[in-house]
Amino acid sequence: MDYDFNTMDDFDFEGKTVLLRVDVNSPVDPIDGELLDDTRMRLHSSTISELSDRDARVVIIAHQSRPGKSDFTTLKQHARSLSNIIGKDVTYVDSIFSREAQNIISNMVNGEIVLLENVRFYSEEMPKLTPEEQANTYMVKTLTPLADYFVNDAFATAHRSQTSLIGFSKVLPSLAGRVMELELKTLYGILDNAQQPRVYVLGGIKADDSINVMANALRTNRADFILTTGLVANIFLVASGVDLKEYNYDFIVQRGYEDYIDFAKELLKDYSDKIILPVDLAILENDKRVEYSVDEIPNLPIYDIGSKTIEIYKEKILEAKTLFANGPAGVFEKEGFNLGTEDLLNTMAKSEGFSIIGGGHLAAAASNMDLDDDITHISSGGGASINLIAGEELPAVKALVDSAKRNKN
């Protein structure tokens, strides 16, 4: 694996202005706008603190949600939370590259920290632009003359090709922050030494990412078995000819995944020996968990994999030498339907193989179960980690590698 990127050990930051991209996207209370969780702030606090302690002038750029979402808001609360976690003032600037923002950055002193406004307020952040086009956006052209280095610590969004993640690396010496460095070196290290059997446990409700990763892992011979759960399993069951009834089929359609049924058929045709499907499922019936064989599913919502499936999957997990899991097995937040998610996580914790959890809800479930020390690596980024594990090139990582090559002298 090519992970020849620069890190914070490669530069002297004293008196330098650093543009630091982090991912502090957090759940927000829809009523009062307060942040409901500061996990990501705590995650990046070590990078921010180290830069400040090394007398850098730290200019943080970040996003919160996306346009049209109820939690698409300013970063004012994030600055307050970061200040409390780091123990230093983090000044919130309610713009990204206005004259006021430029003046504040120009007048910063060593060790000072500012947080600019949500970069997704800027119209050129999210459109699909080439790296060259991103480097020529107004944000990049305005902020670049004020900075000496670009530090990307936002591993959770490393699979995205967006202006604040890619554009600066084209024009500034760029390096990985501590979160990015740890994620890449850990994941690449595990992949470079991946032993067989290599078992993927793919579920959750974001089925597109998991199915695309599954396809790539199978086509590149990186997976020996794939255990399907959640909405991923439902799509593959329909593709295999199982009648999940109108309610569950409509749910697949409502989520925009109807086209993935044909894709799943193609994968089953070529890799039926590697893709393992549930034999029974847990249904929400009269507000209780009731299990049915897959060929006897009533027209009621599927909320989990069934007990027979859990036992089959546990055997595969215990046999694995390399394990990767992404997405819960069902609606684990609802009482009675946490069985699949928790049993599979407990089995992963007992496994003697390398085990990786790809962030998101499954990582939160593992932490709530106090399994952090029993899983080899819990990633901070679900989408980024599953793409990397499956052999996909992460745009933000490529940008760091390219920058290291350009600035190697």
3-state secondary structure of 121: helix
- Give the pairing of strands 354-357 and 322-326: parallel
Report whether 111 belongs to an annotated binding site. no
Report whether 335 belongs to an annotated binding site. no
Among 83-87, 214-218, 232-236, 237-241, where is mean pLDDT lowest? 214-218
The pLDDT tens digits for 63-80 are: 999 998 889 999 999 999
Q: Is the backbone peptide bond immediately before 197 cis, with ω within 30 degrees of 0?
A: yes
Given CA atoms 228, 390, 351, 358 in this order, what sign does their dihedral have? negative
pLDDT score of 3: 64
394, 388 Cβ separation under 8 angstroms: yes
Range list for CATH 3.40.50.1260 in the chain: 8-177+393-406, 196-352
Maximum average pLDDT range among 1-5, 17-21, 31-35:
17-21
DSSP state letters, 142-160: HHGGG-SEEEE--GGGTT-
The percent of residues in the chain predicted with pLDDT above 90, rounded, is: 82
What is the 8-class DSSP label of residue 35?
B
Report whether 25 belongs to an annotated binding site. yes
pLDDT score of 2: 52
Please determine, looking at this structure, whether the domain spanning 196-352 carries the CATH number 1.20.1250.20. Answer: no
DSSP state letters, 200-242: EEE-SS-HHHHHHHHHHHHHTT--SEEEE-HHHHHHHHHHTT-
Report whether 63 belongs to an annotated binding site. yes
Tokens 């599913």, residue?
Answer: 297
The pLDDT tens digits for 261-310 are: 999 999 999 999 999 999 999 999 999 999 999 999 999 999 999 999 99
Report whether 213 belongs to an annotated binding site. no
* Measured distance CA(30)–CA(311) in Å, rounded: 40
The pLDDT tens digits for 355-366 are: 999 877 888 889
The pLDDT tens digits for 230-251 are: 999 999 999 999 999 999 999 9
311, 187 Cβ separation under 8 angstroms: no
The percent of residues in the chain predicted with pLDDT above 70, rounded, is: 99
* Measured distance CA(341)–CA(309) in Å, rounded: 12
Report whether 24 belongs to an annotated binding site. yes
Report whether 136 belongs to an annotated binding site. no
- Sequence-separated (6 or more) residues with CB below 8 Å from residue 159: 381, 383, 384, 387, 388, 392, 394, 395, 396
The pLDDT tens digits for 135-193 are: 999 999 999 999 999 999 999 999 999 999 999 999 999 999 999 999 999 998 888 88
Of 321 and 1, the one with more pLDDT: 321
Average of per-residue pLDDT across 381-389 = 85
Report whether 219 belongs to an annotated binding site. no
pLDDT score of 213: 85
Q: Tell me what the pLDDT averaged over the chain comes to.
A: 94
Element (H, E) at 305: strand 302-305
Decide if pLDDT at 1 tops 50. no
Please determine, looking at this structure, whether the domain spanning 8-177+393-406 carries the CATH number 3.40.50.1260. Answer: yes
Report whether 120 belongs to an annotated binding site. yes
| Other Cβ atoms within 10 Å of 317 Cβ, number | 26
pLDDT score of 367: 85
Report whether 21 belongs to an annotated binding site. no
**C-alpha dihedral, 381 to 383 to 388 to 392, nearest 10°:** -160
Report whether 23 belongs to an annotated binding site. yes
